[in-house]
């Protein structure tokens, strides 16, 4: 982990030197070559995608001995509608949860339920994953999702559709992440992307997107007597996202993320801490009735 963080810091320290290699293609300006890769998301109304999340969290406050958590979730995304501009409107649910936690006081405590279970989260994205609208079924009750406010999330802005393999491009984003908590955590980020060679994984040919991301996050939470506290975080992250060549949906997503946090409480008291997250999203079920109808019509 420390070797990874060091290499991450050196990578971004030399970012200015990489800027000449960074390419963001404007519409109509792409020069295609034999190693050009193109990705975009394609969904249809009533598409259902179910992912298993395997995650490993290490959380420490005030640099005490950490809480170690192995987390398994099953999450479901349903495409409720698609508008004429190819924006996709999703509902997301946590449908199953299991965790095993250990810290200085307890070992291997099993947890099989969570208040976030079956909470309806809404958001919309375009074909590059850029987010537009957010919502939850109950925005008045403060609550964190199992991974916490700053855990990695699926569906983020890729910025472009096409680029050559191993050529970098960067994307700045400012997003609220409703699937991580209420009130919605805010995540401001700078991501350096590149395409890797297409590979076969989980029985599918996929285009692989590799990225390094730095970010600043914040989450405001109620304390009492109408007072709020704030958690702020600075993060470094490395990830791999595999997108199906045929179905144009995420097949697998891996992320390792370090977040240094400050917890700002009443009377100006600040507690430092850190979060480490290693997270795997794996598609376990995909159904698209509308896509099947279109395929059958072409036969």
**pLDDT attached to residue 299:** 66
Quote the domain boundaries for residue 83: 2-298
Weakest mean pLDDT among 2-6, 88-92, 184-188, 257-261: 2-6
> Is residue 143 predicted with pLDDT exceeding 90?
yes
Q: Which residue has the higher pLDDT, 25 or 136?
A: 136
Q: Where are the alpha helices (DSSP H) in the chain?
A: 2-13, 15-18, 289-298
> Is residue 182 predicted with pLDDT exceeding 80?
yes
Q: Read off the pLDDT band of 16 (50, 70, 90).
A: very low
Q: What is the mean pLDDT of residues 242-267?
A: 94
**pLDDT attached to residue 31:** 54
Weakest mean pLDDT among 122-136, 171-185, 225-239: 225-239
Of the candidates 159, 243, 166, the residue with the CA atom closest to the CA atom of residue 197: 166
Q: What is the mean pLDDT of residues 225-250?
A: 93
Provide the CATH number for the domain around residue 179: 2.30.230
> Is residue 210 predicted with pLDDT exceeding 50?
yes
Give per-residue pLDDT as tens, 74-99.
999 999 999 999 999 999 999 999 99
> Is residue 3 predicted with pLDDT exceeding 70?
no
Q: What is the mean pLDDT of residues 138-159?
A: 94
Spatial neighbors of 231 by CB under 8 A, at least 6 apart, are 149, 218, 219, 221, 261, 262, 263, 264
**pLDDT attached to residue 32:** 60
Query: First-to-last CA distance in the chain?
Result: 52
197, 165 Cβ separation under 8 angstroms: yes
- Compute the CA torsion angle 276, 122, 210, 257 (nearest 10 deg): -10
Share of the chain above pLDDT 70, in %: 88
Fill in the DSSP letter of residue 198: -
**pLDDT attached to residue 205:** 95
Q: How many domains does the chain have?
A: 1
Average pLDDT, the chain: 88
> Is residue 2 predicted with pLDDT exceeding 50?
no
**pLDDT attached to residue 18:** 40
**pLDDT attached to residue 23:** 38
Rounded to an integer, what distance in angstroms lies between the CA atom of residue 72 and that of residue 111? 10
215, 237 Cβ separation under 8 angstroms: yes
Q: What is the mean pLDDT of residues 191-204?
A: 90
Give per-residue pLDDT as tens, 25-64.
443 445 566 789 999 999 999 999 999 999 999 999 998 9
Q: Read off the pLDDT band of 287 (50, 70, 90).
A: very high
């Amino acid at each position: 982990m420390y070797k990874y963080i060091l290499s991450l810091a050196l990578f971004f320290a030399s970012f200015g030197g990489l800027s000449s290699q960074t390419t963001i293609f404007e519409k109509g300006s792409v020069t295609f070559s034999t190693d050009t890769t193109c990705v975009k998301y394609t969904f249809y109304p009533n598409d259902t995608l179910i992912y298993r999340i395997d995650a490993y969290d290490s959380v420490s406050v005030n640099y005490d001995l950490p809480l170690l958590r192995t987390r398994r979730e099953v999450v479901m995304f349903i495409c409720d509608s698609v508008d004429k501009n190819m924006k996709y409107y999703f509902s997301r649910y946590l449908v199953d949860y299991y965790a095993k936690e250990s810290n200085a006081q307890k070992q291997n405590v099993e947890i099989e339920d969570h208040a976030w279970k079956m909470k309806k989260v809404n958001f919309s994205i375009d074909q590059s994953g850029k987010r537009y609208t957010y919502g939850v079924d109950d925005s008045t009750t403060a609550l964190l999702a199992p991974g916490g406010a700053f855990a990695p999330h699926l569906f983020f802005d890729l910025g472009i559709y096409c680029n050559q393999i191993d050529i970098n491009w960067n994307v700045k984003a400012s997003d609220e992440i409703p699937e991580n908590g209420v009130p919605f955590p805010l995540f401001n980020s700078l991501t350096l992307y590149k395409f890797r060679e297409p590979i076969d994984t989980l029985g599918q040919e996929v285009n692989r997107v590799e990225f390094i991301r730095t970010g600043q996050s914040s989450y405001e939470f109620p304390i009492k007597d109408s007072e709020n506290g704030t958690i702020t975080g600075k993060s470094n992250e490395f990830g791999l996202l595999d997108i199906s060549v045929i179905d144009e949906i995420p097949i697998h997503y891996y992320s390792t993320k370090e977040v240094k946090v400050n917890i700002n409480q009443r009377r100006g008291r600040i507690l430092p801490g850190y979060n480490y997250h290693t997270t795997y999203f794996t598609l376990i079920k995909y159904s698209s009735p509308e896509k099947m109808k279109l395929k059958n019509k072409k036969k």
